[in-house]
Structure 1
Amino acid sequence: MLPIAHDGEIVSPLSRKNYRPKSRPTLTEHEPTLAMIIALGLMATLGPVAIDMYLPALPDIGSEMGASASTMQLTLAGTLFGLGIGQLIVGPLSDSLGRKRPLIVGICVNIAASTLAVFAPTIGVLGIARVFQGLGAAAAAVISLAMVRDLYSGRTVAVMLSRLLLVIGAAPLLAPSIGGAILTVVDWRGIFVVLGLIGILTLLVALFYLPESLPVGSRQPLAFRSILSTYRVLLGDRQFSAFALAAGCGIGAMFSYVSGSSFAYQEEYGLGEQSFAVVFSIGALALILASQINIHLLRRWTPRTIATAAVTAGSLIGTALITLSATDNSSLIIFGIVVWFLIGTVGFLIPNVQALALSLHPDSAGSASALLGALQFGLGAAIAPVVGAMGGTGLAIAIAMTGCIALAMGLILTLPNDRKNRRTVS
């Protein structure tokens, strides 16, 4: 999550204590160009592409390295762990050192990690490489959004972020298909070669096209005591913690599907790598559609009302999915349709509980945003290997997804429904 100050300006939680509004570069008055959208979109998608492109290869990697499904899913958890920790580290550094230096270092870490993955002799080495891939990708994701707020102002910021979100949303639609296509030509190591090449392209764009968007006079000193104190306050707030954990449960439900889908669809239902990529992309489309429909629903209902309806529907759909998956005659089509609707409920849950959590502490929005993101990726990293431990089957996916959504429902329904939590999203 991106650190944001109460006035909408992006700052790190470490510097909030000494925060002062800063002057903007002259580029704020310009409309975003297509080249800038593509450049920043390339930065923002480095993480999602690293997660999704190698999903079709998980069974092949496990077979070659003699690793179980749960062990393979630890490599996914490692990437999520890196993305979560990276958000807490890179944001403060970019506010203190400027945007480009942490960005370039992060992309170089990502490239080095991809190279290590290509030559990984064991599953342990591959897991380490995936952690550092996540760390490097976190730098690109956080700083790309920070640059948007540095370079643009007013309505242009919202327009730019909306366009970037569409680019980010396309990653899970296209990356598995690209990974499956690569596997028809070379083995799984070729996927990491391509990821390394994408990293090199991203580095070249960062070096020679993107400007340093944070002037020296606007940079902030690091203040570790301030951030630790703010985090303690946030974690001590029952409502913030509940909504943040509910968002993490939503992410956990999604990564239950992401981590187990390749095994369930390919090994249980017999799909090939290309067919799996198509089915996975259709599932990702449910998440995108739900998040877009949610914008229109917010004109009539509050975020909490929508989130409550989403977890209620998700729990019912998930229970049906568990029942279907536990029977021997559950077909691929029926399983896929029910999962599609279950993913859709997650698309309604996540943005609304995020908004509810961030609305509780407007003066600490930066710290709240960073902590929210870390909790989400942390829970996602924790749940991914659980699906593998349960066998990586369709039933395992159904149980894990439904459990996460049911936990989110418990967190939401046990909180008082006061006015602060009834705020709408503008």
Structure 2
Amino acid sequence: MTKQRYFFLILILGSLSALGPFSIDMYLPGFPAIAKDLHTTVARVALSLSSFFVGVSAGQLLYGPLLDRFGRKKPLYVGLVLYVVASAGCYLAHSIDALIALRLLQALGSCAATVAAVAMVRDLFPVQDSPKVFSLLMLVISVSPMLAPTVGGYLVAGFGWQSVFVALFAMGALLLVAAVFWLPESYAPDPTYSLHPRPILTTFFSVLREPQFFTYALTGAMTFGGLLAYVSGSPLVFMDIFRVSGQVYGWIFAGLSVGFIGASQVNTWLLRFYRSEQIVLVAIACQSVIGLVFLLGASQGWFGVTGTIVMLFLFLCCMGLANPNAAALSIAPFSKNAGSAAALMGATQMAVGALASLGVSLFNTNTAVPMVAIMATSAVLALGILLLGRRLIGTTLVSTDGQAVLVH
């Protein structure tokens, strides 16, 4: 493979991986404008984010078997076409209920891009190159939360909230063209692969019976719920309560993402000196304390814009340390069923995240307390699950390469 071809494949696969994160983050600055145009509240607009998380959770379990049964490209085509059609529908939506339903379909389409990109890395690149390629994909995904809301803020200010979905429509269409003409089929269809629910469910149940998996997967899912509570609630907190503009909110969101991404990079250095299970315990314990202090301060009105940003930054730093280690520890016991374990872990994260996002949306109050309460609760629950689950685990297995896995 030539260097040019190598770079081009990584560019396409990285763009496919970023489709989901961009779809989540780019329209956040448009929440107040959407609420005004569709005659609803910002809290109800946040339900369109919850429905997206539900779609992502279900889609991760759906596309894995389809990619093994029909090859990589056909399910990818179906997903991208669904994504493009749903994005057009979001642009044309005239009610919040329609937007919520269309965001669910958009999420199901974006899942095909994410899952196919991961599978095709394993197919197209030598085993020794996979860690480097995955690192590049993770870099693209990590940059997305910094870039997407900032771009979205300027689009909303200049052209209206519908322009965000025009941009996502164009992104999906370009990726569909790239997949058709420049992405090779990397896996021959396997007609013997069963799509019957029973063998698929049997595999998932065998994964769930592993104490190390359910302890760290649930721990990671709870912390991830705190992250998505922040993503769902922050537009209301900053743009409705603190009255910052969509552009400023985009920059605040980008700056806070540095905490999560930076801590994830610090984690790689910490792994030289400490075990993953040590790091995740300390990180979640600190996150619980920060969450409770944040909740007390929010309920008493201690924090203005600056104080809220500082507390969110600290909370997200703990998240950046806890999430990669919890993910790595949850899938470490598996060799044969690693793909199923990863899909189940990702689906669990998004399901808990959808519930957290829904919880924020149910409270139509002019205060940050609902968002902060769910963040603090998620951290405390994560700590409780971790402390109880560690008693059930015998010898903790770690990833063979000593590297943690970051799941977004």
Contact residue 324 and residue 335 of structure 1 kept, 8 A: no
Counterparts of 1:222-237 in structure 2 under 5 Å?
Answer: 222=195, 224-237=197-210
- 1:420 maps to which residue? 395
The whole-number CA distance in structure 1 between the counterparts of 2:6 and 2:337 is 32
Identify the match of residue 178 of structure 2 among 197, 205, 230: 205
Q: Which of 125, 128, 132 in structure 2 is aligned with 1:155?
A: 128
* Residue 332 (str. 1) matches residue 329 (str. 2): no
Give the gaps of 5 or more residues in structure 1. Answer: 1-26
1:288 aligned onto 2:264: no
Contact 1:98 1:219 in 2 (8 A): no
CA distance in structure 1 between the aligned counterparts of 2:233 and 2:262, rounded to whole angstroms: 22
Asked if the contact 2:333/2:397 (under 8 Å) is kept, the reply is no
Does the alignment pair 1:304 with 2:304?
Answer: no
2:388 is the alignment partner of 1:403 = no
Report the TM-score, using the length of structure 1 for normalisation.
0.89
Deviations 1:71-97 (A, max 9, x none): 212100111111111111111111111
Partner amino acid, structure 1, of 2:378: C
Which residue number in structure 1 is paired with residue 220 of structure 2?
247
Task: Write the distance in 2 (CA, Å) between the matches of 1:393 and 1:147.
Answer: 45
The residue identity in structure 2 corresponding to 1:394 is A
**Are 1:60 and 2:33 matched, yes or no?**
yes
Query: CA deviation digits over 1:87-110, x for unaligned, max 9?
Result: 111111111111111111100100
Q: Deviations over 1:265-319 (max 9, x none)?
A: 1111121111000000111111111111111111221211111001110011112
Structure 1 consecutive aligned stretches of length 4 or more whose deviation exceeds 6 Å:
29-32
Q: Distance in 2 between matches of 1:181 and 1:380?
A: 27
Q: Within 5 Å, give how 1:233-382 maps onto structure 2.
A: 233-382=206-355
Hey, what does 1:37 align to over in structure 2? 10
Taking the aligned partners of 1:32 and 1:166, their CA distance within structure 2 comes to 20
Moved more, 110-119 or 147-156: 147-156
Q: 1:82-93, aligned counterparts within 5 Å?
A: 82-93=55-66
The answer (yes or no) to whether the contact 1:326–1:395 under 8 Å persists in 2 is: yes
- Alignment of 1:145 with 2:87, yes or no, is no
* TM-score relative to the length of structure 2: 0.93
Unpaired segments ≥5 residues, structure 2: 404-408
Matches within 5 A, 1:42-191: 42-191=15-164
Q: Displacement of 1:396 after TM fit? A: 2.1
Query: In the TM superposition, what is the alpha-carbon distance from 1:402 to its structure 2 partner?
Result: 1.0
Amino acid at match of 2:122: R
Work out whether 1:393 is the aligned partner of 2:367.
yes
Describe the shift of the 1:247–1:233 C-alpha distance in structure 2 as closer, same or farther (beyond 3 A). Answer: same
Q: Quick check: 1:114–1:196 contact (8 Å CA) kept in 2?
A: yes
Contact 1:70 1:386 in 2 (8 A): no
Tell me how many residue pairs correspond in the alignment: 399
CA contact (8 A) 1:30 1:152 kept: no
Q: Give percent identity, aligned residues only.
A: 32
Distance, in Å, in 2 between the alignment partners of 1:252 and 1:81 is 13
- Give the 3 Å change call, closer, same or farther, for CA 219–332 of structure 1 in structure 2: farther
C-alpha contact 1:311 1:409 (8 A) present in aligned 2:
yes
3-state SS of paired residue (1:229): helix
